[in-house]
Amino acid sequence: MKLIVDDADLESIRQIYEYFPCAGVTTNPSILLKAKRPPYEALKAIRELIGPDAELHAQVVGAKAEDMVKEGHRICEVLGGNTFIKVPVTREGLKAIKILGKEGYSVTATAVYTQMQAYLAGQAGAAYAAPYINRIDNLGANGVSVAKDIHDIFRRNNMKAEVLAASFKNTQQVLELAKYGVGAATISAGVIEGFLKLDAVASAVDRFTCDFYELCGEGKTML
C-alpha cells in the first residue's frame, strides 16, 4: 500500500517527506484553501518539492464534463508527468473520467461513498477510486469495509484501478487497509505523525540509551 500525504502546506509535506516513505501528495480545493496561495502557485511548489517521479493529485471544480476535461488538460500541462486528475464521481464526472481515460490521462475518482461509484469509475478508466473512510463512518456505514469491498470488486472484475483510501481519523483505519493490501492511502500529516507516537517505544529507547551510557559513558555512541 502506497503512503501518500494529504496536504498542501509545504512545510508539513517537507517534514513528512524527510522522515516517512511517501509516494506522493494529494490535494483538493479545501486543502488548497488552507494553504492560502493561488492554486497553481501552491501545486507547482509542491511538484518542485516532491520531484517529477512522485504522484501529485489535483482536483477539477467544473460542473460540466467538458469543463472538467479542459481543467484536467490544464492541470497536467502545468504540473507535468505523474499528475493525477481528481474528478468527483457524479453523472458529469463519470463522463469526464471516460473521456480523460480514453485520452490516456491518469484519473483519480474522488468523492466516493459507495461501492457502485467506485465500480463505475473503474469501468470508465480511472486509475484510482478514493473512498472517504471517516466520512462514510459518519453516515452510519463502515468506511474500511467499503474500501475493502472496492478493492475486491476491482480484483474480481480484472480492473486496473486501485483503491486510494482517504479521510482517516486514526492509525487503526490505515493499518486495517494496509493489512488488506489496498493500493494506496492518502493521509493527513497529523495522522501520519501519529504512526510513531508510542510511549512504549520512547521508553524502550530511553532505557537502551541509559544502559549504553552506563556501559560506555555519558554521551557516547557506537562511533
The DSSP result for 44-107, as a single string, is HHHHHHH-TTSEEEEE---SSHHHHHHHHHHHHHHH-SSEEEEEE-SHHHHHHHHHHHHTT-EE
**Residue-by-residue DSSP string for 104-133:** T-EEEEEEE-SHHHHHHHHHHT-SEEEEBH
Count helices and strands in the chain by DSSP H and E runs: 11, 8
What are the mean pLDDT values of the chain's consecutive 10-residue runs (223 residues total)?
97 97 97 95 98 98 98 98 98 98 98 98 98 97 98 98 96 96 96 89 90 92 93
Class of residue 199 by CB neighbours under 10 A (exposed 0-12, middle 13-18, buried 19+): exposed
pLDDT of residue 210: 92
86 part of the active site: yes
Q: Which residue is catalytic, options 36, 86, 148, 197? A: 86
Residue 2's SS3 state is: strand
Cell of 107: 484519473
Torsion of Cα atoms, 130 then 171 then 169 then 167, to 10°: -10
Distance between CA atoms of residues 213 and 209, nearest Å: 6
Cα 36–chain centre separation: 20
How many other CB atoms sit within 10 Å of the CB of residue 10? 15
pLDDT of residue 118: 98
Q: Are 47 and 25 in contact (CB under 8 A)?
A: no
Q: Are 55 and 82 in contact (CB under 8 A)?
A: yes
All structural domains of the chain: 2-197 (3.20.20.70)
pLDDT of residue 55: 98
List the one residue out of 163, 169, 124 whose CA is nearest residue 146: 163
Distance between CA atoms of residues 123 and 121, nearest Å: 5
What's the whole-model pTM score? 0.93
pLDDT of residue 198: 81
List the one residue out of 196, 164, 183, 169 whose CA is nearest residue 16: 196
pLDDT of residue 200: 85
